[in-house]
Amino acid sequence: MDFTLTQEQQDFRQALRQLVEKEIMPVAAEWERSGRYPTEIVEHLKAMGLFGITTPEEYGGLALDMVSFALVYEEIARGWMGIAGILGSHNMSCSIIARHGTEEQKQRLLPKLASGEYRTGIGLTEPGAGTDLQGITTTARREGDEYVVNGTKTWITNARHAAVLPVLVKTDPTATPAHKGMSLLLVDTTTPGFEVSRDLGKLGYKGTESCEIFIQDVRVPVRDLLGGVEGRGLQQALSGLEIGRLNVAARSVGVAQAAYDAALRYARERTAFGKPIADFQAIQLKLADIATQLQAARLMTYWAASRADAGRRVDMEAGMAKYFASETALTASLEAMRIHGGYGYSTEFVVERLYRDAPLMAIGEGTNDILRTVIAKALVAGSGIVG
C-alpha cells in the first residue's frame, strides 16, 4: 500500500502551488472585499489547461487521473475557495458531456470548453427543488425540431460567463416515476428568453457568481438534447456527482490546510506572558487536533479518488470523503479563529474568510445529512463494505 504521490503528481502539485502563491493569495482578500471578478486568475487557469481536466485528450483536454483532479481543487482552495468553484461546475459539466453526449455534441463543444474559450456550469437547482431534483418544474415542450423551455434555476455557478449550460428539464411532466420524463438540454445562453436575473448574496464563496436564471420560451434545437435520447437527464446529472463530491472533499482539504497553516504561523509569532502561545498546552492541543483531522481528511479524499481511478463506482467513498473533509474544514476554520483570538474575527486575517467559506462544503453536492444516508444505504446493501 503506497500513500506517496507519483513524481508526476508531485510536479503537478508544485506547479499548482506556484500559481496559487504567486497569482491568487496576494489578491484574494482585496478582490473578495471589493467584489472584483478574478479575470486575470481565470486566464492563468486557462493557460494551465485546468478547464479541461475532465475532458478526454482527443477533445483537447488533460483527462487527469482522479488523484490529480483532487490536487487541483485542494491547492486552489488553499488560496481562495471561490476560484475552485469556477473550475468545479465547469469541469463537472464537461465530464457529463464527455460521458453522455453524442459524438457531434462532443466534437462541437468539448474542445472549446477544454481550452476555456467556452465556459459552462450546470442548471439543476430550482427555488423549490434542490435535494429533490425530481421535483423540478422547468419544462421543455417539443415543437418540430426544437424544444420550448420554460422555468427558473437558482444558485447557478458561472451563470454570467457560461456560453452553453446543461439544463435539467422535464420533457414529459406526466411520467411516472418522474425521472423517466427528465432530460438535459445543452442551452446556448445567448438564445432569446434566457436571462441571468441576479447574483445571489452569499456569506462566503466569493469570487464566482451564484445566480438566478429565468428561462422563458427559450428555443433549443433537438440536436442539443444531451445524448440524443429523452428521459435520461437525471441519471446523466447524477453521474457527475461522484466527481463533484470528490471536488468538494478536496476543496475542504484545501480550506482546512489554509486554516492549519494560519493557526500554526500565528501561534509561533504571537506572544503572551513572555513566550509564543505555541508553547501553551491549550494551543498545542488545538493544533494537534486540526493537523490530525486534516491528514485523515486528505487521505480519505485520495483514497476515494484512487478507487475511482481503479474504475470503481465510488458513491460511498466519495460521500464519506466529502462528509468527513467538509466537517474537518468547519472545525479547522473555527479552531484557527479561536487560536487567533480577537484577531481571528478581523477581516485583515485569512481565517475570517475561511470561516465563511467552510460551511458551503457541508451543503454543496448534497448536504452532509443526505450523504450520511447515501453511505448507510450502501453499507446496508452490502455494496459499500469498508476494509
What are the catalytic residues? 365
Q: Do strands 194-199 and 210-221 pair parallel, antiparallel, or not at all (unpaired)?
A: antiparallel
Question: And the C-alpha cell for 239?
Answer: 453521474
Residues 220 and 191: beta-carbon distance below 8 Å: yes
**Are 52 and 44 contacting, i.e. CB atoms less than 8 angstroms apart?**
no
Rg (CA), the chain: 21
User: What 3-state class would DSSP assign to 197?
Assistant: strand
Which residue is listed with cell 468538494? 248
What would you measure as the largest C-alpha separation in the chain, in angstroms?
A: 80
Angle at alpha carbon of residue 333, lines to 327 and 334, rounded to 5° = 90
Q: What beta strand segments (E) does the chain contain?
A: 139-143, 146-157, 164-170, 182-188, 194-199, 210-221, 271-272, 275-276
DSSP 8-state class, residue 207: S
Q: What's the half-sphere exposure (Cβ side, CA atoms, 13 Å) at 340? A: 25
- For residue 120, which of 150, 151, 87, 149 has the smallest C-alpha distance? 87
Give just the sign of the alpha carbon dihedral 243, 244, 249, 252: positive
**Cβ atoms within 10 Å of 280's Cβ, excluding its own:** 14
